[in-house]
Structure 1
Amino acid sequence: MMDALRRGAKSWVAKFLLIILAGSFALWGVADVLNRTDEATLITIGETKIPGEQYRYELQNEMQNFGRRLGRPITLQEARVFGIDRQVLGRLITQASLDEKARSMGLNMSDDAIAEAIRNDPQFQTPGGQFDQSYFQQVLRASGRSEAGYVAEKRREMLRQAIGNGLTAGTPVSETLRDLIHAYSNEARSFDYFVLTKADTDEIAEPTPEELQTYFDANTQRFAAPEYRSINIIAVDPEALTSTIEVTEDELQTEYDIRKADYSTPERREVRQIVFAEREEAEAAAGAIADGKSFEDVATERGLARTETELGLVAKGDIVDPTVADAAFALNQGEVSDVIEGQFGFVIATVDAIQEGSERSFEDARAELEQSLKLARAETAVLDMFDKVEDARAGGQTLAEIAEANGLELVTIEKVDAAGNGPDGNQIENLPAGQELLREAFATDVGLENDPIQQRGTSFVWFDVTDIEPGRDRTLDEVRDRVAEAWRAEQEANALSTAAQSAVEAINNGEKITAVAGQYGKSVTSARPVKRNETSAPAGSSAVERLFLLPQGRAAQAPTAEGGNRIVFTMERSMLPERDPNAEDDKEVVDRIAIARSNDLLFQYVGSLEDEFDVVVNGELLRQLLGEPATN
């Protein structure tokens, strides 16, 4: 059993299990397991308990990770909008269910298996690829974890992986399914075609008043006037204020001195090292080098590849061990160090190349420094202005009055619809806060005080809706030209589609495509073979989709890739290369099928655990952790 579990923990399933299971409890609908349990425990599954503090920790980590991808921190409210709170809860329920399943089955991982997994973990290895206990402890301390806690979590993780591997490993992928997927992905079809344009159809006559009225009546909403809103806006942006701020030469010089390191590029060196466990080994190697052996000879004798001795092109501060860093940066190029007693063992180092550092002068950095200082002071000025504007609004002043009193520009939008267009149908340019402003403005009313919109840190936009013009149906006389244009476009499209369909029917009734094309003064082009996911101009996705539904020799028509025209085509030949079971793309297919099948099995299995175990979530504690008021 233990050997099987250890083998399972190393399989490919381990790479996907936690990701797959993270969302599995979304299938359950977390809300239906919310009940009361003991005060500090958030999740209870059989005898397995998850404390609320663990949920808080996991949620904060996910919020930080999401914020890094977004480029800014996110609030708890935003995390809930993105569903991060439910994802974390689902993941913890999933993990706890598997832990309880392992406990109920009496499964365990031996200490030897856990130790082996930790020793083989790259994050706990020295640059030479060797596990180091002191480095292991250092990494744990830096992440705020204890050794006992980490080992316990590693044990649970490996048991979960082993359970997943037991569910999904060992079943071969059907050859029939592989053949079907190969055929779908690799079949290519060639086609002959010609293109019809509106010039190939009869000219459309002017619409009669009755036709225009009928078309308008059927499309009234299409020509209706949208709701328009008039908006007053004040926008305060630090960059806009920088031109009003002065900085002295002394202030620039002081800032340069403070930030001098930012304008300097440190010296970098290509450093190599050999780490020895014992001083005697290191001294023997140093003696051999002194007697004429090269650093490379010693590394080769110890079975080290060049990549296992390289630290790369590094600055002094990039080297983790300061003792090694000091010694390496005291060497000349090509020189080998004496034995260095480092943190991770005894080291001999050498330098293959030296890249000199550089420093930008004050004059070179002056413009950047000036802009930076002005922007920093402008941000303070914006915050001061923010307080003034908010105080004035609290006192009942309108934005127009506030702008006049504080020398701010008042932007007045007379009429704008929810899409940002004016009554003339053109987009209103340079609208502060853009779509966010429109969304907020169309969710409020005249006379209501609205929260300012914050953009890019300390940029703020205030707005008042001063008037609302409701949407309405227009009369035909108001939009007669637009209606006539739309009617004509529809008639031309219908005529073109009818002509293309007539050509298709003629071909499918026995006429040659060349003869039918000749009736329109067109020549036929033979296109190169395409696969299902390709388009070959002028064929678009619609044409390619229909091509793969046609028997050989049959015709169809579709819009062209650029639109406006119609392509008439016949399927000429289907080609399918023989499947090579050893080809990389075939192996990728097998992997994708295996992953998809594993996903399905794992989702079903984890979902079934809800029936097997009594899953209870402390709803009151969860609400507290999410900042909601307590229920009575």
Structure 2
Amino acid sequence: MLDSLRKSSRSWVAKALLLLLLVSFAVWGVSGQILSGGTGDAVVTAGETKVSGLDYRLAYDRQLAIYSRQLGERITREQARLFGIDRQVLGQMVAGAVLDEQSREMNLGLSKDRLATLVAEDEAFQGVNGQFSRENFRQVLRNVGMTEDGYIKSREEVAVRQQVIEAVADGIAVPATMLEAIAQHTGETRDVQYVTVGEQAIEPVTAPDDATLKSYFEENKERYRAPEYRTINYVRLTPAEIVEDVTIDDDQLRADYEARKSRYATAETRTIEQLVFADEASATAARQRILAGESFEDAVAEAGRTMEDVSLGTLEKSDLPDQAVAEAAFAIESAGGISEIIDGAFGPILLRVTEINPASVQRFEDVRDEIRRELALVEANDTLLDIHDAYEDARAGGQTMEEAASSQRLTMETIRMTDAEGRNESGAPITSIEEQAELIAAAFEAETGLENPPINAGQTGFVWYEVEDITPERDRSFEEVRDRVTADWIAEETDRQVREVAEAYAERFVAGEELAEIAEAEGLSLQSKFGLQRTADDADFGNRGVAEVFDGGPEHSGVSAAPTGTAYNVFKVTGITQPLGGPEALTPQMRENLAAALSDDLLDQMVAKLQTVYPVGVDQRAIERALATQ
């Protein structure tokens, strides 16, 4: 087992994974419902260093959250096992333990002031003002089932461990020879000629006889296996669920309207045009001509401007930065009027207002419903915890979920026959509540007929749930999935035949026939690409096809699957261009990645060595207990 752990510890992408514990509760998203005792046994020991079940469970759920974010959906415990998350976390725990043991033997430590600073800087413990909040600190630790002393001890261990990591891996310089080689490797480009062979190269594939389909079904039976389905009852409690039950009288509504009347007011706006002159004499003359009957448009043209030049737009008084201009514009009595000459920053100004939109205030009757809902939501927030407690008391008193919900004017809803990924028996996505992914994931960890701690709904709400029924996974019969089997067989057979044709063309090319001759004989289009980069995700080749193009020398040829559809590219390399630049051609990000990779490699080697120095023990039963704790 320890050999496999050493291997898993070498799969880290970044040294930050070595920090493992308590870097930020906010990032982990760990809920208190999963940790309530039973996690104190040591799951890993290294010399005198011990890793508790709680530490393992926190790291496990952190990794679970990372995978869930990457996949865009909450993954189940079984999926996590298939991904190897339990083994990854155990490998990380062993690595952390041997680093901590070395730190202990080296007598490394941390001052109380530095430790206090680290705790205060954790965003998970900060209040709305961005400062450390002791109340938040206690609440977060309570949610994850950890004592203050336990957190402080673990945070100190992490900080000390980081000292070892930084001493070994920080400041690593990538050798110039390596940079040169990588620059040459990554900067190389290739030109290719190719033909694309698609479904048109074969006769349409039709369904085979039942014997063939049944044989195919038996060979791929696992693919058609029905997953476990669960029927889930749930009750959602958020301010929105109870807002209609809140009574707000007219006096409250009217008082709120009067107190916030400015919120419902719309300021006066005016559409303004501004003509700037070189001197006051020109401005005065233009104004006199307009008053005598000349149009403002003519005055603008005589000044050598367009109407677009002089338009300021439709503005509120406060939108105008020049106070004198603002006062003059809003002093004009009617649309079409002009102002007096204004002394502007860039010369005398003449204004015209073409449209006036008077200020207005929405009537109380028009916003009454909006005010009522806002006030009701505030009151609903205030009473939500009382309803939560009353519901919990009703369940504790023996009422069913439906009875307890009804007593609080809530509604029990049901999700029928969902798999762990939120799909029904037909494979279609189920749509219920915002928290559906979290609800289904939690329900697939629960037992039938048992009460479960609620999951969070929004910022202040709750969702209670219970599993009504479990339909175990099973093998589907051939008749149940005949259509799927037929479609899959046709797709695979089509792909096989197209690939065979493409490979036959490739063999003809290797035998001496030119690709252009093959294209002409088979009615295909000969295409070319120039400057194909090694790291490109080309639209016609895809990243795998590009890798095939670079998987050989100057005379390389081959067949690669097209990234979309049922098609294959038969290609030959027609040119290779080496980069002109050296290491300077590498981007700063590439250099950082190389340095990080070297740092990780050093850490891997160090951890592997430490695992041979300190006796490492793993208690598999303690791990199982930690994961089983709810």
Alignment of 1:314-333 (within 5 A): none
1:479 aligned to which of 478, 481, 496: 481
2:422 aligned to which of 413, 420, 423: 420
What's the counterpart of residue 181 of structure 1?
182
What's the counterpart of residue 241 of structure 1?
242
Distance in 1 between residues matched to 2:152 and 2:518, nearest whole Å: 63
Distance in 1 between residues matched to 2:532 and 2:143, nearest whole Å: 45
Distance in 1 between residues matched to 2:191 and 2:429, nearest whole Å: 44
What's the counterpart of residue 46 of structure 2?
32
Q: Is the 8 A contact 2:516 2:526 kept in 1?
A: yes
227 and 212 in structure 1: CA distance in 2 versus 1, 3 angstrom threshold:
same
Moved more, 546-555 or 86-95: 86-95
Distance in 1 between residues matched to 2:545 and 2:247, nearest whole Å: 64
What's the counterpart of residue 541 of structure 1?
543
C-alpha deviation, 1:247, in angstroms: 4.0
423 and 376 in structure 1: CA distance in 2 versus 1, 3 angstrom threshold:
same
Name the aligned partner's letter for residue 122 of structure 2. Answer: E
Distance in 1 between residues matched to 2:123 and 2:176, nearest whole Å: 44
Q: Is the 8 A contact 1:236 1:460 kept in 2?
A: yes
1:556 aligns with 2:570: no
1:93 aligns with 2:95: no
CA-to-partner distance for each residue in 1:362-384, whole Å, 9 max, x for gaps?
98997876554332212233323
* Paired residues, number: 426
Q: Is the 8 A contact 1:44 1:50 kept in 2?
A: no
CA-to-partner distance for each residue in 1:144-167, whole Å, 9 max, x for gaps?
xxxxxxxxxxxxxxxx9xx889x9
What's the counterpart of residue 339 of structure 1?
none
What's the counterpart of residue 231 of structure 1?
232
518 and 248 in structure 1: CA distance in 2 versus 1, 3 angstrom threshold:
farther
Q: Is the 8 A contact 1:190 1:526 kept in 2?
A: yes
Q: Is the 8 A contact 2:192 2:529 kept in 1?
A: yes
1:433 aligns with 2:435: yes
Distance in 2 between residues matched to 1:524 and 1:86, nearest whole Å: 68
C-alpha deviation, 1:569, in angstroms: 1.8
- Tell me how large the CA RMSD over aligned residues is: 4.8
Name the aligned partner's letter for residue 46 of structure 2. Answer: D
C-alpha deviation, 1:233, in angstroms: 1.9
Q: Is the 8 A contact 2:452 2:464 kept in 1?
A: yes
CA-to-partner distance for each residue in 1:336-358, whole Å, 9 max, x for gaps?
xxxxxxxxxxxxxxxx9xxxxxx
34 and 464 in structure 1: CA distance in 2 versus 1, 3 angstrom threshold:
same
1:488 aligned to which of 487, 490, 498: 490
C-alpha deviation, 1:519, in angstroms: 3.8
C-alpha deviation, 1:472, in angstroms: 1.6
Name the aligned partner's letter for residue 196 of structure 1. Answer: V
C-alpha deviation, 1:65, in angstroms: 7.2
Moved more, 231-240 or 600-609: 600-609
373 and 55 in structure 1: CA distance in 2 versus 1, 3 angstrom threshold:
same
What's the counterpart of residue 388 of structure 2?
386
Name the aligned partner's letter for residue 401 of structure 1. Answer: E
Q: Secondary structure at the match of 2:217?
A: helix
Alignment of 1:188-199 (within 5 A): 188-199=189-200
- TM score, norm. by length of structure 1: 0.56
What's the counterpart of residue 62 of structure 1?
122
Name the aligned partner's letter for residue 232 of structure 1. Answer: N
78 and 499 in structure 1: CA distance in 2 versus 1, 3 angstrom threshold:
farther
1:569 aligns with 2:583: no
Q: Secondary structure at the match of 1:451?
A: coil
Distance in 2 between residues matched to 1:377 and 1:585, nearest whole Å: 59
Name the aligned partner's letter for residue 577 of structure 1. Answer: P
Q: Sequence identity, in percent?
A: 27
Distance in 2 between residues matched to 1:186 and 1:84, nearest whole Å: 48
C-alpha deviation, 1:194, in angstroms: 2.1
CA-to-partner distance for each residue in 1:71-98, whole Å, 9 max, x for gaps?
x9883377799x9989844543246769
Distance in 1 between residues matched to 2:526 and 2:127, nearest whole Å: 56
Distance in 2 between residues matched to 1:360 and 1:50, nearest whole Å: 64
Name the aligned partner's letter for residue 427 of structure 2. Answer: G
CA-to-partner distance for each residue in 1:38-77, whole Å, 9 max, x for gaps?
xxxx9866565547896576346436379999xx988337
Name the aligned partner's letter for residue 536 of structure 2. Answer: E
563 and 94 in structure 1: CA distance in 2 versus 1, 3 angstrom threshold:
same
CA-to-partner distance for each residue in 1:552-591, whole Å, 9 max, x for gaps?
343222222224322222211111231156x464777666
480 and 21 in structure 1: CA distance in 2 versus 1, 3 angstrom threshold:
closer
C-alpha deviation, 1:602, in angstroms: 7.9
Alignment of 1:245-260 (within 5 A): 245-247=246-248, 251=252
Name the aligned partner's letter for residue 543 of structure 2. Answer: S
93 and 520 in structure 1: CA distance in 2 versus 1, 3 angstrom threshold:
same
C-alpha deviation, 1:405, in angstroms: 3.6
1:75 aligns with 2:140: yes
Distance in 2 between residues matched to 1:576 and 1:372, nearest whole Å: 66
Distance in 1 between residues matched to 2:122 and 2:216, nearest whole Å: 54
404 and 417 in structure 1: CA distance in 2 versus 1, 3 angstrom threshold:
same
C-alpha deviation, 1:523, in angstroms: 0.8
Alignment of 1:133-172 (within 5 A): none
Structure 1 stretches of 5 or more lacking a match? 1-19, 37-41, 99-159, 265-351, 353-358, 615-632
Distance in 1 between residues matched to 2:457 and 2:408, nearest whole Å: 21
Name the aligned partner's letter for residue 433 of structure 1. Answer: E
Q: Secondary structure at the match of 2:480?
A: helix
416 and 22 in structure 1: CA distance in 2 versus 1, 3 angstrom threshold:
closer
510 and 594 in structure 1: CA distance in 2 versus 1, 3 angstrom threshold:
same
Q: Secondary structure at the match of 2:208?
A: coil
What's the counterpart of residue 6 of structure 1?
none
Distance in 2 between residues matched to 1:478 and 1:606, nearest whole Å: 52
507 and 433 in structure 1: CA distance in 2 versus 1, 3 angstrom threshold:
same
Name the aligned partner's letter for residue 215 of structure 1. Answer: Y
- TM score, norm. by length of structure 2: 0.56
Q: Is the 8 A contact 1:21 1:603 kept in 2?
A: no
Distance in 1 between residues matched to 2:475 and 2:481, nearest whole Å: 11
Q: Secondary structure at the match of 2:475?
A: coil
Distance in 2 between residues matched to 1:571 and 1:84, nearest whole Å: 60
Distance in 1 between residues matched to 2:48 and 2:256, nearest whole Å: 56
Name the aligned partner's letter for residue 124 of structure 2. Answer: Q
CA-to-partner distance for each residue in 1:477-529, whole Å, 9 max, x for gaps?
22222211211111111112222222222222221112222343211111232
Q: Secondary structure at the match of 2:122?
A: helix
Q: Secondary structure at the match of 2:46?
A: helix
Name the aligned partner's letter for residue 181 of structure 1. Answer: I
CA-to-partner distance for each residue in 1:431-459, whole Å, 9 max, x for gaps?
46212111221222222111112221222
Alignment of 1:105-116 (within 5 A): none
Name the aligned partner's letter for residue 236 of structure 2. Answer: A
CA-to-partner distance for each residue in 1:245-280, whole Å, 9 max, x for gaps?
45456546766898899999xxxxxxxxxxxxxxxx
What's the counterpart of residue 104 of structure 1?
none
Name the aligned partner's letter for residue 439 of structure 1. Answer: A
404 and 603 in structure 1: CA distance in 2 versus 1, 3 angstrom threshold:
closer
Name the aligned partner's letter for residue 470 of structure 1. Answer: P
Alignment of 1:342-357 (within 5 A): none
Name the aligned partner's letter for residue 178 of structure 1. Answer: L
